[in-house]
Chains A and B, each alone.
Chain A
Amino acid sequence: MRIKVLFFASLREVFDCNEKFIDIPHDGTLTPDLLLKNFSIAEKGPWLELLNKKKIVRVAINQTLVEWQSPLNDGDELAFLPPITGG
């Protein structure tokens, strides 16, 4: 399964990139929650930092706000959104 992951604002700086494509072996349902868990164990670094901020970070799949437990599909765009401060 291939997921396009986007990082904004403070998270863009933590990951030092706007977006990355992630290839994950597909077994069962993948969710943003699972993806984050897996990567924070396997890659640590910025993923661990994201895990620590999980309570205040919201996720969007294909530009719609969703729950951390929402399913991801091949080709989806997943965005991690730090606290919104517009207006």
Chain B
Amino acid sequence: MGIRIQKEIFSSEDIISKMKESNSSIGAVVTFTGFVRDFYNDKEGKKLEQLELEHYAGMTEKMLQQIELEANTRWLLEGIEIIHRVGVLLPGDPIVLVAVACKHRADAFDACHFIIDYLKVEAPFWKKEKTNIGEYWVNNNKEDALKKDQWNYITKKKTN
């Protein structure tokens, strides 16, 4: 298991290769990668130039560890890797990677989905968009909390 908060760019392919090399019983790896969306708003003439990511060092790692732990109690997993970038990012850059390795695909899909839903709501990161017409802190998406809460109604399960 690994949690990394870093400024540097990452390669999903490298992470998957390393996970596979370290464990021959892995039959499936599901990954989620989040990128900085390159947007241009015609009405406002707004264009994203940079995205700045801030985090609460210490608490972030702690929250991600708790999420990993919870995922491991719900599913039989062979490995989890979470990478989240901080600092200055450019449009198109990868921000976050969640990679989940399992024997079979179903658990890997569910656990990856679970982890990113929780990360969105509980890991203390903040985004600031810097555009050609000004900079501002990004508002949170109200639906994210609902998506996280839906997992409360899904029975904990270990299938294999």
Contact = CB atoms under 8 A, between A and B. Distances in A.
A84 B126 contact: yes
B56 A86 contact: no
Contacts of A12: 54
Q: How large is the interface on B (under 10, 10 to 19, 20 to 34, 35 or more residues)?
A: 20 to 34
A83 B139 contact: yes
Contacts of B119: 86-87
Contact of B127 (A63, A64, A81, A85): A85
B133 interface: no
Interface residues of A, number: 17
B95 interface: yes
Interface string A8-40: 111010000000000000000000000000000
B96 to A, nearest CB: 5
A86 B116 contact: no
A79 B139 contact: no
Contacts, number: 66
A87 B59 contact: no
A61 to B, nearest CB: 11
A65 B59 CA distance: 9
A86 B125 contact: yes
Contact of B125 (A6, A10, A60, A85): A85
B74 interface: no
A84 B59 contact: no
Contacts of A81: 56, 124
B95 A87 contact: yes
Contacts of B139: 83, 85
Given A86-B84, A86-B119, A10 B137 contact: yes
Interface of A: 6, 8-10, 12, 60, 63-65, 79, 81-87
